[in-house]
Amino acid sequence: MNYEIAKENIDIQSVIDKVVQREAGAITTFIGTVRELTKGKKTLYLIYEAYESMAVKKLEQIGNEIKERWEGAEVAITHRVGKLDITDVAVVIAVSTPHRADAYEANRYAIERIKEIVPIWKKEHWEDGQEWIGDQLERVAYPSGKPEAGDLNE
């Protein structure tokens, strides 16, 4: 179970434990936390929602993409859903590799891919309103109905 959607607080150490290996000299983690200010606007809290079964499959796909590109990599990703307050942990990505440069690159790849292909959405709640992020005009839309050609059935 290296790829999970969590309904409660994520235990960071338990995600790290999944990628510990005797062949690894480096483990990187990315911990996405709820930031109070975005473009000067104060967030009160967030709601994350997932298409859970597909999200787990897509997290696993990202892990497999990483293992193909970075030899010897191990990957674990947990994304939380539900209501999150400021500084709460939304996502933890742990990647272990034999050498450190790969651990950074592969981890960065994971978060970028999550933002492209994993069906999870956040709704920001401010003092003066709320909005699902991702349907805003400044976001890239997908007129062809897909994120990009390479993402289909990879």
Partner 1 sequence: MNKVLFFAHLRDEAGVESAEIEAAGKTVAQLKEIVAETYKLGKLDSAMAAINEEFAPNEEVIQEGDVIAFIPPVSGG
Residues near partner 1 (CB under 8 A): 32, 48-51, 53-55, 57, 79, 90-91, 111, 114-123, 132-135, 139-147, 151-153
Classify the phi-psi angles of 39: left when phi > 0, otherwise alpha if psi is within -120 to 50, otherwise beta.
Answer: left
Q: Least distance from C-beta 133 to its own copies, angstroms?
A: 13
What is the C-alpha to C-alpha distance for residues 53 and 21, in angstroms, rounded to an integer?
A: 28
* Contacted entry of partner 1, its own copies, none for residue 103, CB cut-off 5 to 8 Å set by kind: its own copies
Q: Is the CB of 51 or the CB of 104 nearer to its own copies? A: 104
Shortest approach of partner 1 to residue 73 CB, angstroms? 19
Nearer to its own copies, 26 or 47 (CB): 26
Minimum gap (Å) between residue 4 Cβ and partner 1: 13
Q: Where are the alpha helices (DSSP H) in the chain?
A: 12-17, 52-69, 100-117
Cα separation, 96 vs 98, whole angstroms: 7
Give φ, ψ of 107 to 5 degrees. -65, -45
